[in-house]
Amino acid sequence: MLQDISAFTQAQTAGQRPLQVAIIVPTFNEADNIAPLIARLSAALTDFQWEVIFVDDNSPDHTADLVRQLALTHPHIRIVQRVGRRGLSSAVIEGMLATAAPILAVIDGDMQHDEALLPHLIRAVADGQAEIAVGTRYAAGGGTQGWDATRLRLSRAATRLGQLALRSPLSDPMSGFFALSRETLSAALPRLSGIGFKILLDIVASLPQAPRVAEFPYQFRNRVAGESKADSQIAVEYLMLLADKTIGRILPVRLLSFLIVGGLGVGVHLAVLGLCLMLGIGFVDGQVAAVAMAIGFNFFLNNILTYRDRRLRGWRICKGLVSFYAVSAIGAAANIGIGNWVHDMDRSWWLSAMAGIVVGAVWNFAASSFVTWRK
């Protein structure tokens, strides 16, 4: 049987070079850029045996359908369509795992990266010059076209934060344009976070030791077709990634986010209670209103930040809110019960209070992860 398969494979690949590199292109609503990007990749990669893998997050503009249509007549074009999952980093990881190529390159689907640089990135890895070759905007010769001063300052500030987290002189740790070897990916894979949009930083920070890096400057181009995906959520996810790569080994970043939201909820509770008392509302009624408002605040903020990858939408928000109120009610009961139990044994009010808070917080996090934002 194995001999038959081997003979068939040899017949199919006769006269062809083995696959050398896979180009991973994460996409969301990039239908207008697909054909031009493929044409440019074809012109740039004539010296290589390559394939391109588009990883599309079920784009409403039918990007995946367009790629699938092109793949019918171009066997080096492949599509991975993800349903119910979002995120550039996780898309890149899935694309890399979907190919057998020994060298993996990443380029955005918006055509803002200079595809003519790809051969240099690939050769740097293939020749053993580097384990990761990076297209950088911030080394001598690189740059950004048409960015205003505010965007440039924000980008450079985020770059500096990334360098501090990596403890690396990498000039552009936020770059989404790079190539690496299969072995490098395998070494980073067990610790990859897959959070947000900055997959290069995730890979470098996940490696057991600092990789050999080669940098190649390029001019970051303006987008021609489609719309930018940059928004405040990207900034939040970037900070979450940095937190995961620095303190994530001690405290899971999702739990950290949940606790921060809970702390903000305490502020909401106190503010609502204070307002009720100012308006002449009784303490008990004000306390009920404050608790209800704080729980609602925590739910909506956690839905946006802590569980952004499982975000509830539409009618599921109503069901999720009800379940979160139920979970929080049990957590409050556990808080009071554990606090009273510790107080009966120790008589230390602050220790009793902290014990109740910790147990209540852990319950709320675990139960809401399983019930409200069940994966």
* Annotated domain spans of the chain: 2-230, 253-370
Least confident range from 138-152, 189-203, 335-349: namely: 335-349
Percentage, residues of the chain above pLDDT 90: 29
| CA dist., res. 154 & res. 364, Å (int) | 35
pLDDT at 346 over 70: no
| CA dist., res. 373 & res. 305, Å (int) | 12
Angle between helices 349-370 and 316-346 (to 10 degrees): 150
pLDDT tens per residue, range 232-272: 566 666 666 666 666 666 667 778 888 888 888 888 878 88
Helix (H) or strand (E) holding 276: helix 253-278
Residues in CB range of 277: below 8 A, 6 or more apart? 283, 286
| CA dist., res. 158 & res. 196, Å (int) | 14
Other C-beta atoms lying within 10 Å of the C-beta of residue 263: 11
Task: Give the pLDDT of residue 1.
Answer: 37
| CA dist., res. 156 & res. 309, Å (int) | 27
Phi, psi dihedrals of residue 213, rounded to the nearest 5°: -120, 135
pLDDT tens per residue, range 75-104: 899 999 998 777 888 899 999 999 999 999
Task: Give the pLDDT of residue 309.
Answer: 73
| CA dist., res. 201 & res. 162, Å (int) | 7
pLDDT at 107 over 80: yes
Question: Residues 52, 79: contact at Cβ < 8 Å?
Answer: no
Residue that wins the pLDDT comparison between 210 and 76:
76
Task: Give the pLDDT of residue 7.
Answer: 42
Helix (H) or strand (E) holding 4: helix 2-13
pLDDT at 4 over 50: no
DSSP, collapsed to helix, strand or coil, labels residue 56 as: strand
pLDDT tens per residue, range 52-83: 999 999 899 999 999 999 999 998 999 999 98
Question: Residues 106, 24: contact at Cβ < 8 Å?
Answer: yes
| CA dist., res. 294 & res. 284, Å (int) | 15
Residue that wins the pLDDT comparison between 42 and 146:
42
Q: Sheet of 21-27: strands edge to edge? A: 77-81, 50-56, 21-27, 103-106, 178-181, 132-136, 213-217
The four Cα atoms 25, 85, 33, 139 give a dihedral, to 10 degrees, of -50
**Tokens for 28?**
């969301």
For domain 2-230, which CATH number applies: 3.40.50.720, 3.90.550.10, 3.40.50.300, 3.30.70.2390?
3.90.550.10
Least confident range from 1-10, 137-146, 314-323: namely: 1-10
Angle between helices 199-206 and 232-246 (to 10 degrees): 0
Residue that wins the pLDDT comparison between 363 and 250:
363
Strands 143-144 and 77-81: unpaired
Residue that wins the pLDDT comparison between 229 and 97:
97
pLDDT confidence bin for 342, thresholds 50/70/90 = low
**Average pLDDT score over the chain:** 80
Task: Give the pLDDT of residue 234.
Answer: 65
Could you tell me where the beta strands, DSSP code E, fall in 41-131?
Answer: 50-56, 77-81, 103-106
pLDDT confidence bin for 6, thresholds 50/70/90 = very low
Strands 21-27 and 103-106: parallel
- Which candidate, 181, 180, 187, places its Cα nearest to that of 205? 187
Task: Give the pLDDT of residue 98.
Answer: 94
**Residue-by-residue DSSP string for 111-146:** S-S-GGGHHHHHHHHHTTS-SEEEEESSSTT-EESS
Task: Give the pLDDT of residue 168.
Answer: 66
Question: What pTM value is reported for the model?
Answer: 0.70
Look-up: residue for tokens 């898309």? 91
